[in-house]
């Protein structure tokens, strides 16, 4: 997730999609044509790719591991009406029920409370998959901190990846720099970012991947088709949705599931 910093009273936040340079250590890389082709084949944009120690960061906050790039996804692209879409390159195997454990590691109380809020919101949907925060042991998802300053008017709020082998992506990284959430972070804001990043961990794409300018401004960008099929969900709006929890950019405030998000999640899980 990323925040766009305007040097005025206006601030717009980006959850995960678009993202600025991570820091001076992670600048835009010379990505090979073969790697770009793999990224495009999965349906992701190939501009502003950054190579990290864990893989390739695309759309600001989505980590694509080498294993994912070299895999052959079999899950669905869920099409909500004509514009709003959720893409799942991989899903979490739930069967009749599954418990996903989350550990918040070495972060302040606002991040702990934010994780609890995100968990409460997911569990309130009545999905086959439920979430539990643990304080010890080996979790399915660990929420860790990193410290990156703003650069070029942008700051990354959080990042995460997609499931592999039927398991959720195992790490959510949250920015502890004061420019991200301030010196007294809002629990609902932090919780909304965690909620968004956990969405990636269980296989959700940005709902505005078809036009990033819809929530982030700038030039309209559509990543185009991928190798994954599409399934239409009837009874959903025929236009883009301004309130989805998986929009690339937020307004820096509390954002949770709307009715269409719930349709998508319940279809999957």
- Residuewise pLDDT in 10s, the chain (269 residues): 555 443 322 333 444 333 333 333 334 568 888 898 888 877 777 777 888 888 888 877 888 888 878 876 655 556 554 455 555 557 899 989 999 999 999 999 999 999 999 999 999 999 999 999 999 999 999 999 999 887 666 678 999 988 888 999 999 999 999 999 999 999 999 999 999 999 999 988 777 666 666 666 655 555 555 554 334 555 555 556 667 888 777 677 899 998 888 888 888 89
Which stretches of 165-231 are DSSP H helices? 178-181, 187-201, 213-216
Cα distance between residue 200 and residue 177, in whole Å = 22
Question: Which pLDDT score, from 0 to 100, does residue 5 have?
Answer: 43
Say if CB 256 and CB 245 are below 8 A apart: yes
**pTM of this prediction?**
0.81
Cα distance between residue 152 and residue 4, in whole Å = 9
> Strands 85-87 and 77-80, how do they pair?
antiparallel
SS3 at position 263: helix
SS3 at position 250: strand
Say if CB 185 and CB 225 are below 8 A apart: no
**What does the DSSP 8-state code read for residue 29?**
P
Say if CB 159 and CB 6 are below 8 A apart: no
Residues 2-268: name the CATH superfamily: Collagenase (Catalytic Domain) (3.40.390.10)
Strands (E), 112-238: 129-134, 141-146, 154-156, 158-161, 171-175, 230-233
């Amino acid at each position: 997730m990323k925040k766009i910093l305007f040097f005025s009273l206006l601030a717009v936040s980006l959850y995960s999609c678009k993202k600025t340079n991570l820091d001076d250590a992670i600048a835009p890389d010379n990505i090979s044509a073969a790697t770009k082709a793999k990224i495009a084949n999965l349906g992701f944009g190939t501009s502003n790719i950054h190579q990290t120690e864990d893989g390739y960061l695309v759309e600001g906050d989505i980590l694509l591991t080498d294993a994912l790039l070299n895999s052959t996804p079999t899950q669905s692209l869920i099409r909500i009406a004509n514009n709003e879409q959720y893409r799942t390159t991989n899903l979490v195997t739930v069967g009749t029920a599954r418990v996903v454990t989350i550990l918040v590691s070495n972060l302040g109380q606002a991040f702990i409370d934010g994780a609890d809020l995100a968990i409460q919101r997911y569990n309130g949907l009545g999905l086959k998959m439920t979430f539990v925060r643990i304080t010890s042991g080996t979790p399915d998802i660990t929420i860790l901190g990193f410290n990156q300053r703003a650069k070029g008017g942008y700051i990354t709020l959080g990042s995460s990846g997609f499931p592999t082998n039927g398991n959720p992506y195992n790490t959510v990284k949250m920015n502890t720099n004061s420019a991200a959430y301030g010196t007294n972070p809002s629990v609902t804001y932090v919780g909304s970012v965690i909620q968004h990043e956990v969405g990636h961990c269980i296989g959700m794409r940005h709902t505005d991947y078809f036009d990033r300018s819809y929530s982030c401004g700038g030039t309209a960008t559509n990543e185009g088709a991928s190798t994954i099929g599409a399934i239409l969900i009837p009874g959903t709006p025929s236009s883009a949705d301004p309130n989805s929890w998986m929009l690339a950019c937020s307004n820096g405030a509390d954002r949770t599931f709307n009715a269409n998000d719930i349709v998508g999640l319940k279809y999957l899980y």
